[in-house]
Amino acid sequence: MDKTTMPSSNILRRTPARSWLAITALGWLAMTLGLFTATVAGNAVRASGATDNEIAVVQALTAALLIVPAVCLIQRRFRLTARLLPLTPVAFLHMLGGAASALLMGGLGFIITGILGWTTITAWHFSAELLLAVAFNTCIAFLYEALPEELSMRGIVYSGLRLRLPAFAAYGAQVLLFVLVPVTVNQLQAWSGLDRGSSINAEYVIMLLCYGTMLQLWRSLTGSLWASVGFHVAFLEIARFVILQQDRRLLTYSELEAGTGPVVIQFGVIIIGSAGLLVLLNLWRRRRLRTAY
């Protein structure tokens, strides 16, 4: 079996179990403090008159240059043998598969809601400007959100929890800690006199709970983080350039009921639908491994 597809219970075997709390706490702090520092850096360049794109670049580079090295240091310090970062040919295929699955589920969502008459695509908007905007935002999403978050939360934090907890409990604890990241960053921003980030409400928390669980299922299925990274990036691009109907978008659609796109397609089909499919695939893989031995 390739190392990138080995179960987490095997790849963590050489790490002392007593280190679980330190690994978990440090991984969570790396993500939280890195994200907060990136926010502070973004506000600083905004005050100097930087453009939105310049602010996005500063935030993305700050987050990536703080969180990714911190994750590598934690992994080395505690001798975690989980191969979280190397982009091997197999891992690259995992990343492409994760991204493709998000795109397919998004397309399926529009097909289902279109057949039911809930949404109607009224126009398509292909342009070089749109392609450049998507390419730029994809790079920002990878550096600022997907790579740091997957390495820290689904990587280090989950690895630490698995040293002490069974898989189902580690899943739950990781997701709760994942939700706690934006809550803590928002509070740190308030204490620092900065504007709070995104609004933390019940709908947002439910979305994060389901989203964090679904992304963790990708690691369980593939044994690496690259599928969740690919899915993460593709999901963000679908949300920003399709679902949310911003000025730059791939298509324009009408809704029978307001909120059908975000609720039914983005949450119901892409997140919940993907989670259900991944549960089935993980069960099939587990059964296959049992029969192999």
**3-state SS string for 110-169:** HHHHHHCCCEEEEEECCCHHHHHHHHHHHHHHHHHHHHHHHHHHHHHHHHHHHCCCCHHH
Q: Cα separation of 122 and 255, whole Å? A: 10
pLDDT in tens, 27-55: 999 999 999 999 999 999 999 999 999 99
Q: Cα separation of 280 and 173, whole Å? A: 22
> What six digits make up the tokens of 196?
């709070």
Residues 6+ apart with CB under 8 A from 15: 23, 78, 79, 80, 81, 159, 163
User: Are 20 and 164 a contacting pair, CB within 8 Å?
Assistant: yes
Determine which helix (DSSP H) or strand (DSSP E) holds 280, and give its type and residue range.
Answer: helix 274-292
pTM for this model (two decimals): 0.90
Residue 160 has pLDDT above 80, yes or no: yes
Q: Cα separation of 106 and 111, whole Å? A: 9
Q: Cα separation of 136 and 140, whole Å? A: 6
**Token pair 């990136």 is at which residue?**
38
SS3 label, residue 251: strand
Domain ranges of the chain: 14-292
pLDDT in tens, 100-156: 999 999 999 999 999 999 999 999 999 999 999 999 999 999 999 999 999 999 999
Least confident of 14-23, 160-169, 201-210: 14-23
Q: Cα separation of 240 and 245, whole Å? A: 7
pLDDT in tens, 72-110: 999 889 887 666 667 788 889 999 999 999 999 999 999
Tell me, what's the pLDDT at 83? 64
User: Are 282 and 217 a contacting pair, CB within 8 Å?
Assistant: yes
Buried b / exposed e across 92-120, counting CB within 10 Å, b at 16+? eebbebbbebbbebbeebbebbeeeebbe
Q: Cα separation of 185 and 144, whole Å? A: 14
3-state helix, strand, coil in the chain (%, to 5): 75, 5, 20
Tell me, what's the pLDDT at 8? 43
Question: Among candidates 1, 3, 5, which has minimal Cα distance to 220?
Answer: 5
